[in-house]
Structure 1
Amino acid sequence: MSEDAVDLNAKFDLFSEHWSPKLVARLNDYEVKLVKVKGDFVWHSHEETDELFLVLDGRLTIQLRDRDVTLGPGQLFVVPRGVEHCPRSDTEAKVLLLEPAGVVNTGDTGGALTAEVEQI
């Protein structure tokens, strides 16, 4: 990774696909990823780790089995390990994810939306 400042807006300009996280930085054993989201994702959980969602632009709803958590720009939510969740957004949202290296975006569910993480 570069030792220069990371311009998040410039990084978002490098891709257009939804639900495909891009690696932009590493922090110890953690990865900082950017993702554009639109529509519904899949219900899944991560048994071994929490997952942080920070909305940079747009609105994101984290559906949980007992409630929905809706986030706007500058708001974050941590999904605790093992909690089933399903992110969704009616319009495109830009989100920063912070999670341990190697975490699969679809968690224990897998399927067509499972993405290989590309570094940009």
Structure 2
Amino acid sequence: MTHEPIDLSAALASFDTLWSPRIIARVNDYDVRIAKVAGEHVWHAHAHTDEFFLVIDGELHIALRDRAADPGGDGRGERVVVLAPGAVFVVPAGVEHRPFAPAGASILMFEPAGTSTVGDRHDPIPDHVDVTTGHLLT
């Protein structure tokens, strides 16, 4: 990790791989990750941690299976939140979600260090999704 300022535009320009987050900083026990995304991720959940998303560029959609989408039901109803540049959203711990970006996006995430990109439980993982705890930005 560097102890110098990080230019997000330059950091994002340094890699092209989609759904493969780069760790740009660490805050206490949390990774600050950036990623380029396009198409669909996988349905997954993080049992013990929330997941923070900030859209830098483009538009990120996050499909959610939660009680807000299915009041009085079993919590398996689905809804989609749409995040424009500058928008922030937190997926609560344990909520199944599937990020997707039909036209592509650049995002920033906060997650506890060592958190897998596909959570603790997930659907089958497509080839275009990098199963990782993040790669150090080089």
The TM-score range, normalised by the shorter chain, is over 0.9
> Which structure 2 residue ranges, 5 or more long, are not aligned?
70-78
Q: For residue 93 of structure 2, what is the aligned residue in structure 1? A: 81
CA positional deviation for 1:10: 0.4
Q: For residue 2 of structure 2, what is the aligned residue in structure 1? A: 2
Which one has the largest radius of gyration? 2
Q: For residue 115 of structure 1, what is the aligned residue in structure 2? A: 132
> Which structure 1 residue ranges, 5 or more long, are not aligned?
none
Q: For residue 91 of structure 1, what is the aligned residue in structure 2? A: 103
CA–CA distance in structure 2, aligned partners of residues 61 and 47 of structure 1: 21
Tell me the amino acid that sits aligned with residue 25 of structure 1.
A
User: Following superposition, which runs of at least 4 residues in structure 1 exceed 3 angstroms of deviation?
Assistant: none
Query: Aligned-residue CA RMSD in angstroms?
Result: 1.2
List per-residue Cα deviations over 1:53-85 (Å, max 9, x = no partner): 100000000001221100000001000000000
TM-score (norm 1): 0.95
CA–CA distance in structure 1, aligned partners of residues 91 and 134 of structure 2: 20
List per-residue Cα deviations over 1:41-64 (Å, max 9, x = no partner): 100000010000100000000001
Alignment of structure 1 residues 1-120 onto 2, 5 Å: 1-65=1-65, 66=69, 67-107=79-119, 108-109=121-122, 111=125, 112=127, 113=129, 114-120=131-137
CA–CA distance in structure 2, aligned partners of residues 99 and 118 of structure 1: 13
TM-score (norm 2): 0.83
CA–CA distance in structure 1, aligned partners of residues 2 and 41 of structure 2: 31
SS of 1:56 mapped into structure 2: strand
CA–CA distance in structure 1, aligned partners of residues 22 and 3 of structure 2: 18
CA–CA distance in structure 2, aligned partners of residues 68 and 101 of structure 1: 27
